[in-house]
Amino acid sequence: MEKKGIQVRITGDDKGKGLFALRSYKEGETILEEKPLVCCQYSWNADYGYSACENCLSPLETAQENVFRLCGKRDIILPYPECCETKKEFITDCETCGVKYCSSECKSQAFQRYHQTLCLQSREKDKGHPLVQLNEIWKQLHYPPETATIMLVAKMVALVNQSPDGKSVKSAFSQFCHRTTNETQEIAHKLLGEKFIEQIDLLRETTKNVLNVESVEDWFTPDGFKSLLALIGVNGQGIGTSAFSRWVNNVSALDLSNDQRIQVDELIDRIYKDMDDAVGLSFLNNEGTGLYSLQSTINHSCDPNAVVELPHSNSTLVVKATREIQPEEEICIAYLDECLLERSRHSRQKVLSSLYLFICQCNKCLSQSDDPDLTSDSEEYSDEDMSD
């Protein structure tokens, strides 16, 4: 696969595929921009009141509403309201089930692609509806911080069923890595750990009862369903959007006097402190996950030359060069956050093997191969660390 200066290639090693540059890229230059094949807000994130478009995950709150909710204070007034990107006048909903969209375009696109299948047929979202029960089962198995959701699987099935060419849609999903284990290193995916074994069959049977899976029967055999969970766990790209962060970004670009800049910066710092006190800085965004054709082919490096960004505060991602990239060089991103990248090789490998089923062989890891396989007390990681 080749597209505008990049090419997907079979690497001939354990990585399978990789994305390579066909020309040079400067630091900060955009390598690709991509919308997901499918995306979905995390289940607990939605239940906690984080309001996002059901189709593209754009924030449905204004920046002011976002601050009120996350700070728990009603006396904080944001200046420069023109810097808020949320357009409340364009927000609409499904007349049948009430799910909300940022625009009529998103509503129409969702209905045509998958929502007709998933519509709950009730504005009250009846808790007895099988689709709601499926979501509740998932939530009881996977508490925050979230890295996946069964509702992404539901959307995948609906996309295949509603498409005039369901075979092509199913084929598009088959390109993603869906192995449940890495036999070479005897690694099993975290979503398939021993504590979930009894519940996996319940999820599989419930999903089969909720949706017409005739066109994807192979996804719902015992082994096929485990592969499906591994697919969304390994390939899912985290998506985070925030009306307030976009307001901050836009305010930062304003031409303000020195006094105005000092005042607004002090306000922003105070708001972030209040948010941290109220909910913690790890829980500021509308959060979800998506499957991206090109982005999913980009391999990990603990010393990456590119980064994934979400500059539009929706599910459209951008991959940018973080340093100069030469023609024929492989484009690599970090699957770990900056904090984890600074930890020991052993700590990084524990997370990568649990979530992504590989032992990293990047230059940084190879240069540290003689380091002891120990994790200090200060480097103990939690599930919260293990996200895109």
Give the domain ranges of the chain.
2-34+292-298+312-385, 38-238
Q: pLDDT confidence of 354, banded at 50, 70, 90?
A: confident
Tell me the average pLDDT across 294-319.
96
- Over residues 153-187, the pLDDT tens digits come to 999 999 999 999 999 999 999 988 666 555 444 44
- As its CATH architecture, domain 2-34+292-298+312-385 has Beta Complex (2.170)
Mean pLDDT across the chain, nearest whole number? 89
| Cα gap 381→208, rounded to integer Å | 36
Query: Which contacts of 252-261 are long-range, i.e. CB under 8 A and separated by 24 or more positions?
Result: 254/80, 254/83
- Over residues 96-144, the pLDDT tens digits come to 999 999 999 999 999 999 999 999 865 555 667 889 989 999 998 888 8
Per-residue model confidence (pLDDT) at position 375? 60
Tell me the average pLDDT across 262-280.
96
Provide the greatest CA pair distance for the chain. 65
pTM: 0.88
User: Beta strands of 242-300 (E only): which ranges?
Assistant: 286-291, 299-300
Per-residue model confidence (pLDDT) at position 356? 82
- pLDDT of 339 > 90? The answer is no
Query: Which contacts of 201-210 are long-range, i.e. CB under 8 A and separated by 24 or more positions?
Result: 202/137, 203/134, 203/137, 203/138, 203/141, 203/150, 206/130, 206/133, 206/134, 206/137, 207/134, 207/150, 207/153, 207/154, 207/157, 209/130, 210/130, 210/131, 210/134, 210/154
Say whether 84 sits in a helix, a strand or coil.
coil
| Cα gap 316→36, rounded to integer Å | 7
Per-residue model confidence (pLDDT) at position 134? 92
Q: Which of 63-67, 127-131, 295-299 has the lowest mean pLDDT?
A: 127-131
Tell me if 215 sits within 8 A of 170, measured CB to CB: yes
- pLDDT of 89 > 90? The answer is yes
Highest mean pLDDT among 26-30, 125-129, 146-150: 26-30
- pLDDT of 193 > 90? The answer is no
Say whether 388 sits in a helix, a strand or coil.
coil
Tell me if 322 sits within 8 A of 305, measured CB to CB: yes
| Cα gap 353→341, rounded to integer Å | 14
